Amino acid sequence: MASIVLGVGASHSTLMNTHWDKVVHTERAEAFRAGLAGARARIAEARPDVVVVVGSNHFRGFWLDLIPSFTLGVGEVIAAGDGGTPKGPLRTDPGFARALAAGLVEAGTEVAISARLTIDHGQTHAVQWLLDGIDAPVVPLVVNVFAAPLPTMRRCVELGANLADAIARMPGDGRVVVVSSGGLSHQLPWPSDWTDPEGEDEEFLVEAWLNGRGRWDRYDRRRREIIVAAKPTIFTAFDEGFLRDLERGGLRTYADLGSDEIQDRAGNGGQELRTWMVMASALGFAPGRTLVYAPMPEWLTGMAAAVIDPAATPEPGRHREGRP
């Protein structure tokens, strides 16, 4: 049977590639890049036959006219190229993806499917930094983290468990790596309620989210101006607690968090923690290892990278490598 041989969680930021010259906390930024390199090395060592990338979509492939809670790319996958990330068609494995979709339905999660899926930096950041030079196809699994109502954290835990079950039922001895992209804490200048935007910027964003299909680039310049002008809001204590819980295999308790509580404790960008929960659940909430944590106000985000190796034996007294 196929098996999940490694889980990886990594933050992304649309500003990481494009605003390096604005970085003040250079040591933190370099440490984060080094953490990504360490995660990439772990993926290479795992020798995956396929990589499932669990991430969000920042209104490049999904719009307010249709946003499923969970969507699996089962055919062509096109990278939008936003924020300096890869652009164009990606290598995929449609046969595996379709079998995975069927297995998820059998296991109890009815995912939407897309035979022509556009993904953005919410997943291509991981493709760029974690899969560079690794010859493995990607299967994107998109989680709605922006347009309420959002899938509950508990439902994301169920998705992860069913993902593991579906992969285990596949024939052959395929090796699968599950990568989650998103978080940690940050606050984006999005409207808190897309049905009731406040001010010109929020009205513009809602218009872009509703009417951007096929022409998102016409909205991109102003949208990036709004993001760049945002005040950094990072909840360092929350991030460090989340990573400690990941290390001890304790993330299951976060399944009880509602969207409002996540917003209060980790900002609206903290809703992306759903992707980490899917990954951790797929790995059975085994203890993990944090490779780096770097709060980056220049990128608006608490940036982290971590791995969960189901074959690893927990080390007594293990601790994170530290925050620069």
Q: Is residue 184 part of a domain?
A: yes
**Is 271:262 a contact under the CB 8 Å cutoff?**
yes
Q: Is residue 197 part of a domain?
A: no
Q: Is residue 46 part of a domain?
A: yes
Q: Is residue 52 part of a domain?
A: yes
Q: Is residue 93 part of a domain?
A: yes
Beta-strand pair 3-10/175-181: parallel
Q: Is residue 259 part of a domain?
A: yes
Number of domains in the chain: 1
Q: Please choose, from the candidates 277, 54, 72, 264, the residue with its C-alpha nearest in 3D space to the C-alpha of residue 154.
A: 277
Q: Which helix (H) or strand (E) holds 3?
A: strand 3-10
pLDDT of amino acid 318? 44
Distance CA 228, CA 223 (A): 9
Give bridge partners of residue 118 from the DSSP assignment.
78
Q: Is residue 218 part of a domain?
A: no
Q: Please choose, from the candidates 1, 2, 7, 21, the residue with its C-alpha nearest in 3D space to the C-alpha of residue 177.
A: 7
Amino acid at 93: D
pLDDT of amino acid 315? 52
Q: Is residue 108 part of a domain?
A: yes
Distance CA 30, CA 142 (A): 28
Structure tokens given for 242 = 């989340």
Domain extent at residue 36: 3-188+230-308
Entry pTM: 0.93
pLDDT of amino acid 313? 58
CATH assignment at residue 55: 3.40.830.10
pLDDT of amino acid 123? 95
Per-residue pLDDT of the chain (324 residues; tens, 9 = 90+): 899 999 999 999 989 888 788 899 999 999 999 999 999 999 999 999 999 999 999 888 898 989 999 999 999 999 999 889 999 999 999 999 999 999 999 999 999 999 999 999 999 999 999 999 999 999 999 999 999 899 999 999 999 999 999 999 999 899 999 999 999 999 988 887 888 898 999 999 999 898 888 888 888 888 888 988 889 999 999 999 999 999 999 999 999 999 999 999 999 999 999 999 999 999 999 999 999 999 999 999 999 999 999 988 555 444 444 343
